[in-house]
Amino acid sequence: MNEQLRPSFAERDKYLNLLSVAYADGRLDEEEFDKRTQGVLSALTHNDALAQFDGLPKPNVLPAAVRRSPRPEVTPSSSLYKIDPLPAKPTPHSPSDGGTSRRTVLVAAGAVVALGGFLAWESGWPPIGSAAPEATASRGPDYDGEAGEGGEYPEVSVDRFWEVQQRLSDDGLTAVVSLRITDVAVEGTAMSPRSPREVAPFSQRGDGPVVVGETEGIDVDHTVDLDELGMMLDQALMNVVDELQGIATEATVVWTTKGKPAVDVRFIDGDVTKTARYDLEGKLIKLDEE
């Protein structure tokens, strides 16, 4: 990519979309997001725009002039990435902001545009929620941490939780008691805050529907808000990829000794299986090796 070329309007939009994704993921605060957005808008060259991604994975935005060139001498080492639209995912919001905070609005508005134009990052940062490999899709929730054929591991995707979250919200079951997510299944229990002790099991396997069972009276010590749980899962799985360079294979809701919700993420790090525990704010509070 010739970094001295002036970015087109479409290419500038791609830079802005990627900044929106970074802001929505919590990588930028509001002040830094506004500052970098203005930097992209005033950029005279691609190099100026790329400077706004300091500390972030640098995007590979292909100038339109090069995209149209059929030059046969382009080699794999200088191959250019193709932009493939990805489906938008719903973004959970905290009850404290009433669903109308700036971040929620940006995610809702940017999910269609930004994620639709989400590029391959040169740093190898994979998008959270990427689908598990087809070669491992048949593995069940009792996966033992071993690689399958071709050395591939099943990967837990937070996308699997979105449909379950929507169904639980529709049913008023917004207080989650337990939750376990694998590459092919989601299972757990939840209840309505208005009906303490009336706990219902739920599950979703493969591409099947979300199934919510009959409630039964159970004494419950702890619950976590459904929307807060969605954000906690998203942050924990993203941190395993970005900070620990791991492949997540299972995520489970647990409770600390102080009764606070946390997420245990089991992941593969090379040839070693580890478990990372994250609190509600996405902070790593424990790391164990099996």
Verdict on whether the full-model pTM lies above 0.85: no
Q: Which residues of the chain fall below pLDDT 50?
A: 1, 64-72, 74-82, 84, 87-151
b (16+ CB within 10 A) / e for 213-244: eebeeeeeeebbbbbbbbbbbbbbbbbbbbeb
Look at residue 250 in the predicted model and tell me its pLDDT: 94
Q: How far is CA 244 from CA 24, 31, 174, 282, in A?
A: 21, 27, 31, 13
Look at residue 63 in the predicted model and tell me its pLDDT: 55
pLDDT in tens, 127-172: 444 443 333 333 333 444 444 444 455 678 778 888 999 999 999 9
Per-residue DSSP letters for the chain? Answer: --TTSPPPHHHHHHHHHHHHHHHHTTSS-HHHHHHHHHHHHT-SSHHHHHGGGTTSPPB-PPPHHHHT---TT--GGG--PPP-----------GGGTT-SHHHHHHHHHHHHTTTTPPPBTT--PPTTPPPPGGGTT--TT--S---GGG------THHHHHHHHHHHHTT--EEEEEEE-SSEEEEEEE-TTSTTEEEEEEEETT---EE---EE---S--EEHHHHHHHHHHHHHHHHHTT--EEEEEEEEE-TTS-EEEEEEEEETTEEEEEEE-TTS-EEEEEE-
Look at residue 2 in the predicted model and tell me its pLDDT: 59
Cα–Cα distance, 214 to 99 (Å, whole number):
30
107 by Cβ neighbours in 10 Å (0-12 / 13-18 / 19+) ranks as buried
Tokens found for residue 168 = 């639980």
Look at residue 154 in the predicted model and tell me its pLDDT: 61
Cα–Cα distance, 284 to 277 (Å, whole number):
6
Q: Could you tell me the maximum CA-CA distance found in the chain, to the nearest angstrom?
A: 70
Look at residue 14 in the predicted model and tell me its pLDDT: 83
